[in-house]
Amino acid sequence: MPELRPLCPDHAPALLAFERENRAYFARTVPDRGDAYFARFGERLRALLAEQEAGVCRFHVVTGPDGAILGRINLVDLTDGGAGLGYRIAERAAGRGLATWAVRELCARAADAYGLTFLTAATTLDNTASRTVLARTGFTATGETRLSGRPGLTYRRSLTHAL
């Protein structure tokens, strides 16, 4: 059974390995993080944890039964009762419902533990898997956008009802 855990400093080595192992896979559907992200990973992680401590964002890892990181799922820019949702699932765990499970879990946590009333998300048009996850978890397309120059859609989900 997977677990959704808040990001902590102890996750650093496994999280960096997760990002490196899946970099090419992620780059097929989402903007690449770039070489600087990997070169300054420790610094970036400390900044994320500081944002989390300040209550601006909520970062999570999805772990498997063996504790390995299979994904990450985050809430960013918490303000006015809402936040932006983002997630990445490892290539080796994709296509098995893990992203759908993680989004549902985080929606429940966002409402119950973080007091949020809505979430937003965005994905590129060619990321069919992400668009499917968002639809399955109650998000509704609200408009068009561009993500790193690529056409995409924006989404929104109310957290006042459960799926």
Neighbours of 156 (CB within 10 A): 17
- Radius of gyration (Cα) for the chain, nearest Å? 15
Amino acid 60: pLDDT: 98
- Assigned token pair, 83: 């936040």
In the beta sheet, which residues pair with residue 47?
Answer: none
- Nearby residues of 64 by Cβ (< 8 Å), 6 or more positions away: 2, 70, 93
In this predicted structure, what is the pLDDT of residue 141? 97
Q: What is the pLDDT of residue 30?
A: 78
Specify the pLDDT at position 39.
92
pLDDT bracket for residue 148 (50, 70, 90): confident
**Pairing assessment for the beta strands 82-89 and 118-124 based on DSSP bridges:** parallel
pLDDT at position 163: 46
* Bridge pairing between strands 3-6 and 58-63: antiparallel
Which pLDDT score, from 0 to 100, does residue 150 have? 87
For the chain, percent of residues with pLDDT exceeding 70: 98
Instruction: Say which residue, 21 or 34, is predicted with more confidence.
Output: 21
Question: What CATH number is given for 3-158 in this structure?
Answer: 3.40.630.30
Of the listed ranges 28-32, 48-52, 66-70, 143-147, the least confidently predicted one is 28-32
The C-alpha atoms of residue 78 and residue 62 are separated, in whole angstroms, by 20
Q: What is the pLDDT of residue 28?
A: 84
Contact (CB, 8 A) for 59 and 8: no
- The answer to whether residue 161 scores a pLDDT higher than 90 is no
pLDDT of residue 31: 75
User: Tens digits of per-residue pLDDT, 113-132?
Assistant: 999 999 999 999 989 999 99
Distance, CA of 79 to chain centre: 17
Percent of the chain residues past pLDDT 90, beyond the cut = 83
Could you please report the per-residue DSSP string of 45-73? Answer: HHHHHHHHHTTS-EEEEEE-TTS-EEEEE
pTM: 0.92
